Amino acid sequence: MPLTRARIGVLMGGRSAEREISLRTGQAVHRALLRRGYQAVAIDVDASVHQQLRTNKVQVVFLALHGPGGEDGTIQGLLEIIGMPYTGSGVRASAIAMHKVTTKALLDCHGIPVPPGTVVQAGRPGKGPATVPPAGLRWPVVVKPAAQGSTIGVTIVRRPSEWRAALRLAHEYDQEAVVESYIAGREIAVSVLGGTPRPRALPAVEIVALGGFYDYTAKYVKGRTRYLCPAPLPADVGKRVQDLAIRTYQIIGCEGAARVDFRVTQRGRPYVLEINTVPGMTETSLLPMAAAKAGIDYDALTERILQSALGRGGTMARGGTTTH
């Protein structure tokens, strides 16, 4: 069955801390699909999602869920079980990419530069007053939950007095807190689109947070951040981050669209911070911004991501409707 004849469910919302951003992404995607002539229905995900898919006679899912429950392989696993084609990365890649500790370990094994760091489990922050960071690190360090997005629960710790509070905040969202060296330099994001014969890296975006820290507010409130696209990097550094983004995408095993976040030092050395397998598609999001610079407008980008559902089992493979 062609995608133009399929009934598409745009899954959004959910119960993660990124719910509001997911709703904005999903609503924008839903509108774009309708403009393109697709039969699309918006679904706010809760425990009844399986029933909602049946009630709405959904045949293909466009995933617009962010954070745990949406990017971590769980919803992907459900859709695999019921034979429902969906956009983006599969179960394994989603689970790996969502967990920053696993992502860093895998990338490091393949020679991808990542910031040095360690993990602090909840309830084991160490004894006595913190005067130095763990694992031989030096101030400043970045403390963040192992499995969250949108800079939720992240703190840049510049002095010992901030250490305990930063751990407490990270542990509110995850039992594991990632502690890693703060890489002074520029914030760069490279989006990648799957395709043949190989994935394509879009123009890099430099993020200049006016408050000095690209936190949740800076990401989603207009006017709080400047974006430079393409990023004004030396040609060799620009090519390097694009190549690293593609390699990261391939090592993790991603499909569809993804975004790789970097810090680039003043000497031009890039470090991969993380990869996002369901990048934001709001009016301030980096993926559509980079795509536009590459000549792909928002609606065409949405349609291209939708194409990543092709080749999966269920509706499209059988040429009929699902029987879940």
- Residue 128 confidence class, pLDDT cut points 50, 70, 90: very low
Q: Check 16, 276, 285, 308 and give the catalytic one.
A: 276
- Residue 323 confidence class, pLDDT cut points 50, 70, 90: very low
| Most confident region among 10-14, 133-137, 158-162 by mean pLDDT | 10-14
pLDDT of 2 reads: 67
Q: Check 18, 72, 215, 255 and give the catalytic one.
A: 18
261 included as an active-site residue: yes
pLDDT of 212 reads: 59
In sequence order, what are the beta bridge partners of 225? 209
Q: Check 280, 285, 312, 314 and give the catalytic one.
A: 280
pLDDT of 150 reads: 56
Q: Is the pLDDT of residue 101 over 60?
A: yes
Residue type, 221: V
276 included as an active-site residue: yes
CA distances, 222 to each of 21, 28, 251 (Å): 14, 16, 34
Instruction: Find the mean pLDDT for residues 239-261.
Output: 98
Q: Check 38, 173, 214, 220 and give the catalytic one.
A: 220
- Residue 21 confidence class, pLDDT cut points 50, 70, 90: very high
220 included as an active-site residue: yes
Instruction: Find the mean pLDDT for residues 67-88.
Output: 95
pLDDT of 3 reads: 78
- Residue 149 confidence class, pLDDT cut points 50, 70, 90: low
pLDDT of 45 reads: 96
pLDDT of 223 reads: 62
Q: Check 72, 255, 274, 303 and give the catalytic one.
A: 274
- Residue 275 confidence class, pLDDT cut points 50, 70, 90: very high
- Residue 315 confidence class, pLDDT cut points 50, 70, 90: very low
- Do residues 202 and 293 make contact, with C-beta atoms less than 8 angstroms apart? yes
Instruction: State the virtual CA torsion across 101, 146, 192, 13 in degrees, nearest 10.
Output: 150
Q: Check 19, 186, 247, 259 and give the catalytic one.
A: 259
> What mean pLDDT, rounded, does the chain reach?
89
pLDDT of 170 reads: 93
pLDDT > 90 in the chain, percent: 76
Q: Is the pLDDT of residue 311 over 90?
A: no
Q: Return d(Cα 39, Cα 155) in angstroms, integer.
A: 43
Q: Check 174, 215, 261, 303 and give the catalytic one.
A: 261
Radius of gyration of the chain (CA): 20
- Residue 64 confidence class, pLDDT cut points 50, 70, 90: very high
* Residue 48 burial by Cβ neighbours in a 10 Å radius (0-12, 13-18, 19+): exposed
150 included as an active-site residue: yes
31 included as an active-site residue: no
20 included as an active-site residue: no
Instruction: Find the mean pLDDT for residues 245-251.
Output: 98
Q: Is the pLDDT of residue 41 over 70?
A: yes
pLDDT of 237 reads: 98
Q: Is the peptide bond before 230 cis (omega within 30 degrees of 0)?
A: yes
- Residue 214 confidence class, pLDDT cut points 50, 70, 90: low
Residue type, 46: D
Q: Is the pLDDT of residue 131 over 70?
A: no
- Do residues 191 and 290 make contact, with C-beta atoms less than 8 angstroms apart? yes
- Do residues 294 and 64 make contact, with C-beta atoms less than 8 angstroms apart? no
Start-to-end CA span in the chain (Å)? 17
Q: Return d(Cα 86, Cα 62) in angstroms, integer.
A: 6
